[in-house]
Amino acid sequence: MLDKRIDLLKEEVFEANMELVKQGLVIYTWGNVSAIDRESGLVVIKPSGVSYEEMSAGDMVVLDLDGNIVQGTKRPSSDTKTHLVLYKAFDTIQSVVHTHSEWATCWAQAGTGIPCYGTTHADYFYGQVICTRELTDIEIEQDYEYNTGLVMIETLQQNNLNPLELPGMLVSNHGPFSWGTTPKDAVHNAKVLDEVAKMAYRTEIISNRIKPIKETLLNKHYLRKHGKNAYYGQ
């Protein structure tokens, strides 16, 4: 039963990685998707530096939460430790995506969060998409990928945020990470994150007097799609 679940998860993770290409969120070998089987604690992730054109579901690497390879002949993504830290910290996260998508990365490089200016943003993110602080020299030099995960956890905790209410974040000077309840959901959130980043940039070009969306409208749009009283969809 476990082998069958992991095989299915490898296929899901592979398809999610390929969806990054279809959605224009990655080029070359940039970006990665992972997912976790919570029952076994095993994680499936894209191999490091393998082009999307050459990749197959069989190339996905299976790891335990300590990063030990359980299945696979290739090295896992260089961002593996970041993914594992997030899975350990938040049991509601089932899949993690990292890209260097064009619009969201611009905001990350500026070290600036993406304000919520409208209802498109509010449908997915319960307020500003936050950007982390810069990593210190020591954090960069000593276990960089692990500390990248820690700074995201720190940012969520300091702002008292539920990761499923803010299913994406910017790492300062680096790029966006997103997550979700399935690989498909996490990629969906990554695409929306890049789109709202583009919309916010263009909104600020149109008007330098724009203010974030009113809290009443933010609540209406987010909560009609999420939470116990949601009524959007079938």
Query: Could you tell me the pTM of the whole model?
Result: 0.94
Buried b or exposed e, range 87-101, using 16+ CB within 10 angstroms: beebeebbbbbbbbb
Instruction: Evaluate if residue 2 carries a pLDDT over 80.
Output: no
Residue 154 is predicted with a pLDDT of: 97
| Segment 10-37 mean pLDDT | 96
pLDDT band at 10 (very low <50, low <70, confident <90, very high): very high
Residue 218 is predicted with a pLDDT of: 94
Structure tokens, 80: 């593996």
Residue 226 is predicted with a pLDDT of: 82
Pick the catalytic residue from 7, 37, 59, 123.
Answer: 123
The 10s digit of each residue's pLDDT in 156-197 is 999 999 999 999 999 999 999 999 999 999 999 999 999 999
Pick the catalytic residue from 28, 64, 143, 232.
Answer: 232
Domains of the chain: 2-223 (3.40.225.10)
Q: Report in angstroms the alpha-carbon separations of 48 from 45, 59, 86, 105, 184.
A: 9, 10, 19, 20, 20
Cα gap 69→66, rounded to integer Å: 9
Which one is predicted more confidently, 54 or 95?
Answer: 95
* Percentage with pLDDT > 90 across the chain: 89
Question: Is 232 annotated in the active site?
Answer: yes
41 close to 65: Cβ distance less than 8 angstroms: yes
User: Could you tell me how far CA 151 lies from the centroid of its own chain?
Assistant: 14
Question: Is 123 annotated in the active site?
Answer: yes
Q: Are strands 69-71 and 61-63 parallel, antiparallel or unpaired?
A: antiparallel
Q: Average per-residue pLDDT in the chain?
A: 95
